[in-house]
Amino acid sequence: MKSAMPGDAISAAEVTNISRHGLWLLLGDEELFLPFDDFPWFRDASVAALTEVVWPSPDHLYWPALDVDLSVESIRHPERFPLTSRI
């Protein structure tokens, strides 16, 4: 078993459900909903691309297949992050 290094995620991020409205993401013991209306770049993504999510640091999520980086805070509080996708 590899010991955690500084910057290593303590646990894995997991997509727990996908619907036509959005996806649910489990981060440790917190489950967050990402509605496609607020996160449109996920709307037409494949299940494989959506479920390949990396949690490299407490406030950083990355979907390699989609080249999407998100702050966890932007999911918790989208009203604080008014930038939107041009899609």
Q: What is the DSSP string of 6-48?
A: TT--SS-EEEEEE-SSEEEEEETTEEEEEETTT-GGGTT--HH
Q: Provide the number of structural domains found in the chain.
A: 1
Q: Domain containing 17 — which CATH number? A: 3.30.2020
Query: Which tens digits make up the pLDDT trace of 39-78?
Result: 999 999 999 999 999 999 999 999 999 999 999 999 999 8
Q: Is residue 85 part of a domain?
A: no
Query: Which tens digits make up the pLDDT trace of 5-29?
Result: 455 545 689 999 999 999 999 999 9
Residue 38 in this model has a pLDDT that exceeds 60: yes
Strand order in the sheet with 30-35: 13-18, 22-27, 30-35
- How distant, in Å, are the alpha carbons of 16, 42, 75 from that of 19? 10, 11, 17
State residue 79's pLDDT score. 81
Q: Is residue 4 part of a domain?
A: no
Q: Is residue 87 part of a domain?
A: no
State residue 76's pLDDT score. 94
Q: Is residue 63 part of a domain?
A: yes
Structural domain span for residue 56: 13-80
